[in-house]
Amino acid sequence: MLTSLNRHKLTDCRRLFLRNYEVPVNIGVDDIEKKAAQRILVNVDVYVPLALSTPSHDDLSEVVDYNFMRDTLAKRTSQGHIQLQETLCDDVARTLLAHPKVYAVRVSTEKPDVYVDCESVGVEVFHFKEDVA
């Protein structure tokens, strides 16, 4: 849950995002899901304090590189079968949040091909670093 204090801290952040990143993943608990990779969509928001992400020399080293989000997802999804979307979201969020410049993250995953009567089913998590002033 976003507290008033955390919402206030986000106003001092830059938000980087990755939208509808489509990747085949070995994920699921049903027998049919364990036989082949299935398509998932991943969305990521990474919040970086403006003080740590406002370039003064227009140089990539002054900001968090977008590739960090994609590389994190690629590495985690290539590590073998994942039972739950919750596990995938938590693992990715934890890795992204470990970056020294990142203050908060939101990660969601969706399985668009599970049910014919809805667009997708998914999970979302939001995590803050607690020790950031």
What lies within 8 Å, CB to CB, of 77 at 6+ separation is 23, 25, 88
Q: Which residue has the tokens 């969305």?
A: 43
Domains along the sequence of the chain with CATH: 4-128 (3.30.1130.10)
Write down the pLDDT at residue 1: 47
Question: Measured between alpha carbons, how far is 62 from 131 in angstroms, rounded to an integer?
Answer: 22
Predicted TM-score (pTM) of this structure:
0.88
Q: How confident is the model at residue 2 (pLDDT cuts 50, 70, 90)?
A: low
Which residues does residue 42 pair with via DSSP β-bridges, in sequence order?
21, 109
Question: Measured between alpha carbons, how far is 132 from 110 in angstroms, rounded to an integer?
Answer: 30
Greater model confidence, 1 or 16: 16
Q: How confident is the model at residue 130 (pLDDT cuts 50, 70, 90)?
A: confident
Question: Measured between alpha carbons, how far is 45 from 128 in angstroms, rounded to an integer?
Answer: 12
Say if residue 7's pLDDT is above 80: no
Of the chain, the percentage scoring pLDDT greater than 90 comes to 70
In eight-state DSSP terms, residue 94 is H
Say if residue 132's pLDDT is above 60: no
